[in-house]
Amino acid sequence: MAFDFSHLMTLALREAEKGLEKGEVPVGAVLSNASGEILAKAHNLSVSRHDPTAHAEILALRKAGERSQNYRLNGATLVVTLEPCLMCMGAALHARISRLVFGASDPKAGAAGSLYNVAQDERLNHRIEVFPGILEESCSELIRKFFQTRRREQKNARRGTEVVVTGSTRNRLVPLEAGHVGSNPTLSAKPFNKIDRL
């Protein structure tokens, strides 16, 4: 049987963009039942909710379970922009979804073939059919741009907070405090206080 998951992945990408607008890692998920009806859509909310379990997949599974009034989602298809982690794959296995569709692989944390292959682990009592690489370039680009922007912002935030001290200190970085003059922390503009000398 041939499947076209592009439409569902496009919806998942829209969810990922919603997460991006909130400052979340841009991952989106869509869950549909066996007849193709959309049961749930979600995006990452771990940062906003201060919840390490608030991944797009987990949130979509929760919504679909509530809507179906059943934690078992037999025949369902989970479509996600980034390969799920171990936590999300565990939840998908417990929900008994039939198919997992993802866009970008995650070589550092992916549990559907990249780092681990939980979906096809014969020691478990359920298997999930996996369809990787759907709209892969669009999914990868969204993640790539997010982390490039984040690294640039972090680099800019650090700029101006350290100075290089030369001479006998062997070119080490020293935190820059308010009042330092140029690159010489000994030329402090702090007012002299006799108590400091005691």
Regarding beta strands 99-104 and 77-82, do their DSSP bridges make them parallel or antiparallel, or are they unpaired? Answer: parallel
Cα–Cα distance between 20 and 70 in angstroms, integer?
30
Closest by CA to 136, choosing from 112, 110, 102, is 102
Q: Which two tokens stand for residue 197?
A: 């000398």
3-state secondary structure of 86: helix
Helix H segments across the chain? 6-21, 46-49, 56-68, 86-95, 136-158
Please state, in angstroms and as integers, the Cα–Cα distance from residue 20 to each residue in 76, 102, 145, following that order. 26, 18, 10
Burial class (CB in 10 A: 0-12, 13-18, 19+), 182: exposed
Closest by CA to 91, choosing from 49, 132, 63, 131, is 63
The reply to whether 136 belongs to the active site is no
Q: Which of 37, 57, 141, 153 is catalytic?
A: 57
Cα–Cα distance between 120 and 98 in angstroms, integer?
12
List active site positions.
57
